[in-house]
Structure 1
């Protein structure tokens, strides 16, 4: 990815890699495996111990099981690499508090309420924030109908969730004509 000023000499310092994989299970449920890995390009001291360049500073994993409605039925986490062994990995079963939440209904706010600050691990809690869109991508077109909307007559979930899929956009007019709405006309204002 080019930088804003690619002609300037630069050197890499840090990398954060996020990965989310979703698996369909034979029992009709879905497993979500998410990870966050931070690495540095130089040696750094952590808690008085040198960490070599390329070794993870953080490696956290979150495991969820969700049903077809995207409700979490099981949750756990692992901390494999951390700055403070014996402390960072002592959040126990905190991420089981995700059980019962729905990824499409207030999930991000509920995560912050249940696991924000000292109630969880900052990095795993941040990792949770990307899960709704990642899991929806995994299920779009197979588990979730992205074309016709739901049985209650509501439009497909993705409409009005980003600028390209505004109900009054040319994109919706072309690909979702049933759900297209004309742009509201703004009344002219007079300046004094």
Structure 2
């Protein structure tokens, strides 16, 4: 079902986010994200002279190389377009993601290491939003084959996925059907 018809309007900005997950021949996985911001109008920019309509204001990529346990083995950031010449100077800092594990506590660790002046707002947003969830989606089938999807916890252990969204609320029909012992509804 589409959104309701909008009021009369004029488009100003487009943000395109693309994230893809790959299985590598060496058994690791690459999660690659790209964020591009464009405007529908040109405007002056002190560092770049002028940014024309449709030319990226932001154009950034981030690659994480992870293993089946969601441990980051390597990270690489690239800024092709930024509003300031200095934007790309922070890219090497993202190598410090190596050694972190995507899972509980990951958001806090990333915010502590790359928040504010220690990172790039757009790369951190890309990482913590669609890239982290794409990592889970990319590894889901592999982890399911190994019995490690997170959907099947140890006997007697409450699945961590419960209460992570509306559909998986402890009182939802989904939880009632899949994990009746953890269902809290009527």
TM-score by length of 2: 0.86
Per-residue CA deviations over 1:82-107 (Å, capped at 9, x if unaligned) read: 1112x111114100111111111211
Aligned equivalent of 1:115: 114
Q: What is the CA-CA distance between 1:35 and the residue it aligns to?
A: 1.0
Structure with bigger RCO (C-alpha 8 Å, 6+ apart): 2
Q: What is the CA-CA distance between 1:142 and the residue it aligns to?
A: 3.1
Aligned equivalent of 2:183: 181
| Structure-2 separation of matches of 1:12 and 1:42 | 10
Q: Identify if the C-alpha distance between structure 1 residues 96 and 179 changes in structure 2 by more than 3 Å, giving closer, same or farther.
A: farther
| Structure-1 separation of matches of 2:22 and 2:181 | 31
1:172 aligns with 2:175: yes
Higher share of residues assigned helix: 2
Instruction: List 4+ stretches of structure 1 deviating above 3 A.
Output: 144-148, 150-157, 177-180
Q: Secondary structure of the equivalent of 1:62? A: strand
| Structure-1 separation of matches of 2:160 and 2:23 | 21
Q: What is the CA-CA distance between 1:143 and the residue it aligns to?
A: 2.4
1:161 aligns with 2:164: yes
Aligned equivalent of 2:29: 30
TM-score by length of 1: 0.84
Aligned equivalent of 2:152: 149
Q: Identify if the C-alpha distance between structure 1 residues 26 and 152 changes in structure 2 by more than 3 Å, giving closer, same or farther.
A: farther
Per-residue CA deviations over 1:106-161 (Å, capped at 9, x if unaligned) read: 11111110011111112111111112222112222332444851457645442221
Task: Map 1:71-110 onto structure 2 (within 5 A).
Answer: 71-85=71-85, 87-110=86-109
The structure whose Rg is larger is: 1
Aligned equivalent of 1:132: 132
Aligned equivalent of 1:190: none
Moved more, 43-52 or 74-83: 43-52
TM-align CA RMSD: 2.2
* Structure 1 unaligned regions, length at least 5: 186-192
CA contact (8 A) 2:158 2:182 kept: no
| Structure-1 separation of matches of 2:128 and 2:83 | 22
* Structure 2 unaligned regions, length at least 5: none
Q: What is the CA-CA distance between 1:180 and the residue it aligns to?
A: 3.7
CA contact (8 A) 2:36 2:59 kept: yes
Q: What is the CA-CA distance between 1:73 and the residue it aligns to?
A: 0.7
